[in-house]
Amino acid sequence: MHWSKEPGGGAANAQGGDVEICEHLREAKDLQPSERVCEECIKIGDSWVHLRICLTCGHVGCCDASKNKHATKHFHRTQHPMIRSIEPGESWGWCYVDEITYDLSRGTQHARVLG
57-to-18, 44, 75 alpha-carbon distances in Å: 28, 22, 11
Query: x-or-dash pattern for Zn ion, window 1-40, by CB under 5 A?
Result: ---------------------x-x-------------x-x
User: How many residues at the interface with Zn ion, by CB under 5 A?
Assistant: 18
As measured in angstroms, the least distance from the Cβ of 113 to Zn ion is 11
Q: Tell me whether residue 9 or residue 114 sits nearer to Zn ion (CB atom).
A: 114
84 binds Zn ion, rule: CB under 5 A: no
- CB of 75 closer than 8 Å to CB of 69: no
Residue 60's CB is within 10 A of a number of other CB atoms, namely 23
Report the alpha-carbon distance of residue 76 to residue 17 in Å, rounded. 32
Report the alpha-carbon distance of residue 84 to residue 32 in Å, rounded. 10
Q: Which residues bind Zn ion (CB under 5 A)?
A: 22, 24, 38, 40-41, 48, 54, 56-57, 59, 62, 68, 70, 78, 80, 95, 97-98
